[in-house]
Each structure stands twice: as structure tokens, then as C-alpha cells.
Amino acid sequence: MSVTPQMALDLPAREDFSEAAFILGPSNAGARDVLDRPGDWPRNVMALVGPEGSGKSHLAAIWAMHNDALIVPAPALAGHLSDRPAQARLVVEDVDHGIDEDALFHLLNRAAEGEIPAMLLTARILPAHWSVRLPDLVSRLRALVHVDLHEADDELLTRMMQKQLADRGAPVRPGVIDYLLPRMERSVAAVRLLAERMDKLALVKKTPITRAIAREILDSWTETGDAA
């Protein structure tokens, strides 16, 4: 079953990386605690590791806000070396997607020397498995301390979905979230997008969000090749 024509201009879900939008749960509490204590990081560096959609960018954005840090995508790292302010804290996002090895090695040295007070690296896989060839960098990454973000459990996903729907003022029938949990992608991004699409379709149909609405969105998601 496809979504009604009025839904054709569906827009991507807005990313809200504010602290108010962050929901603490068992899957992220350990990482949040470690990120709150950058003074304890060995050699002033920490890797934040977790699967796609686990909230790495959200936590990194909160950390950057608290620490007045510059956020740089890994592929653009080399281009930011010269204009990085002295003593600036740094977030390097998605290091396992590819990075200039010389630039990363240079920054790790600067962090170890205290020139960078704290540097947070995000990735989907452990530092020892990042695709690098520079021998000195390989040895550094094997020794790099990391903290894990785990897949959200049902309780956290439920709270996320409840908040998304409440923020939209979207009425929802009992049992809808329980219906979604075993059928949806278990990520923050999926929760946000599902809530947005269900709310839009319910407004078009002039009905609260029901299991039928949820089923239609999931069916259309699969038909269009979106993750669900």
C-alpha cells in the first residue's frame, strides 16, 4: 500500500541535536558519563563508537556545545588544520569513512602534547579496525581508548517516539508504538522520520495515528527502499 498523493512532497526529518532533544537510557548512559569527563581521557583523545543511528552525532554535538569545540567531518580534516584556533577542542566525525592519515596523526600528537585540550572522534567501528596504513598511526589507534554506544532498547525507542509525537501534538492510539518496535529500524533517525510521516498522513486522513497509519507508512517505506 502506498502513501496518499498529498504525502508526495515528504521532506527529510529535521535533525535536532540539541541537549533538550537527547533522551538518556541504558544504551547511551555510559558514553554520556565518559564524555562529561574529558579531563580523564588518556592523551586527551576519546573515540565514540556505535552503529549507524545510535546517536553518535547527537552526543558529539552536545559535547561540542559544552566544550566550545569545532566539529569537522573526517574527509575535510586536512583542510582545517591551518585555520584551527589555538587550544581549540575538536570533534572529528565519521573517521572510519576515510581520513587523511597524516592529518589525524598530526592531531593525535598535538592532543598528546596538550595543544588540543580534548579531541573526540566518532566512528561505527573500533579504532583498531579503521582503514589506515601509516604504521605509527596504526599503533596509536590500537592503543586509543574508546567508549561504546549501543543499539537503543525498546524502552528508549518508546520514550523517543513518545517525545517526537508529543512535540508534534499528534494524537496516537494505544498499541501503535508496540506495533512499530519489532518492525522498524532501531535508530534515532528512524524514530524521527516515522513520527513525522505518521503525523503527516494522519493529518491528511483527519484521524489519530493508528496501527493502520503505522502499517501504511512502513509499507510505503519498504516500497521506496527506505530503511525501516
What pLDDT, in 10s, does the model give residues 95-143? 999 899 999 999 999 999 999 999 999 999 999 999 999 999 999 999 9
- Which amino acid type is present at position 101? E
Q: Name the maximum alpha-carbon separation found in the chain.
A: 62
Structural domains of the chain sorted by starting position, each given as residue range(s) with its CATH number in brackets: 29-148 (3.40.50.300), 153-223 (1.10.8.60)
Q: Is 148 helix (H, G, I), strand (E, B) or coil?
A: strand
Q: What is the pLDDT, as a whole number, of residue 15? A: 63
Q: What is the pLDDT of residue 9?
A: 34
Mean pLDDT of 214-224: 81
At residue 182, the 3 state secondary structure works out as coil
Residue 131's CB is within 10 A of a number of other CB atoms, namely 11
In this prediction, residue 11 carries a pLDDT of 41
- C-alpha to C-alpha distance for 92 and 96, rounded to whole angstroms: 10
Instruction: Round to whole Å and give the CA distance between 39 and 67.
Output: 11
Kindly report the pTM of this predicted structure.
0.78
**Would you say residue 211 has pLDDT above 80?**
yes
Give me the mean pLDDT over the 16-45 stretch: 90
Task: Tell me the three state secondary structure of residue 90.
Answer: strand
Residue 150 grid cell: 549501543
Collapsing DSSP to helix, strand or coil, 91 comes out as strand
